[in-house]
Every structure is written in structure tokens, then in C-alpha cells.
Amino acid sequence: MPSTVLDPPANRAVLPAPIAPVAPPVVQPLPAPIEAPGREPSVAERIDALGPGGRYRAYQHGLLSRRELFAWAARYPNEVPLVNGELPWIALTLADLD
């Protein structure tokens, strides 16, 4: 049987039909988190709300928990007083404190 123009040659592979491009999905922004009534502020929010002077006064009067002290030292390292280069609440536990 003679080959026609529409028949591919026997030694060539037949490629599949091209796939139509697919539009990317529409991405909606995430909604703002819903705050539950009575939600307590996080440690970082409480520390931030005090301001520089308030944080130092709260420290002087012993009103900050250990967690708040570490949050203060992590977020505002230049505000925290040091004792021999160490955080005061850690320096209290050191035997070599001069």
C-alpha cells in the first residue's frame, strides 16, 4: 500500500497533540485571624506595650516573670542592664560573681 502525505514515516515517532495551557489558579489572600474574646496578649505583646521606661521599671520592681525577662532581653538587648556582662537574673546563679 503506498504511503500518503498524511501518514508519518515508519521510522519517526508520533508526538502527542500539544496540551492547551492551563490558567494558574486564583489565589485569595488569607483572611485576618479572628481574635477570640478574652484572648490574652502574648508575652511579646505585653513586653512591647510597656515601652522602654515601663519595661525597666517593671524589672526594678520585680514585676516581670522569667519568661518576660527573657523576651525583653531577646527583643531589646540594648535596654537590659548587665552584671559582669551577664543578664542579672542569670548572674544571680553564678558562683564566680564578683
Q: What average pLDDT score do residues 41-56 get?
A: 89
Mean per-residue pLDDT over the chain, rounded: 80
- pTM of the prediction? 0.56
Q: Is residue 3 part of a domain?
A: no
Burial code (b: 16+ CB inside 10 Å, e: under 16) for 23-53 equals eeeeeeeeeeeeeeeeeeeebeebbeebeee
Asked if the structure places residue 30 within a domain, the reply is: no
Using pLDDT thresholds of 50, 70 and 90, give the confidence band for residue 71.
Answer: very high
Work out how many domains the chain is built from and give that number. Answer: 1
pLDDT at 7 over 70: no
Alpha-carbon distance of 62 to 60, in angstroms, equals 6
pLDDT, position 26: 75
Domain range for 59: 43-91
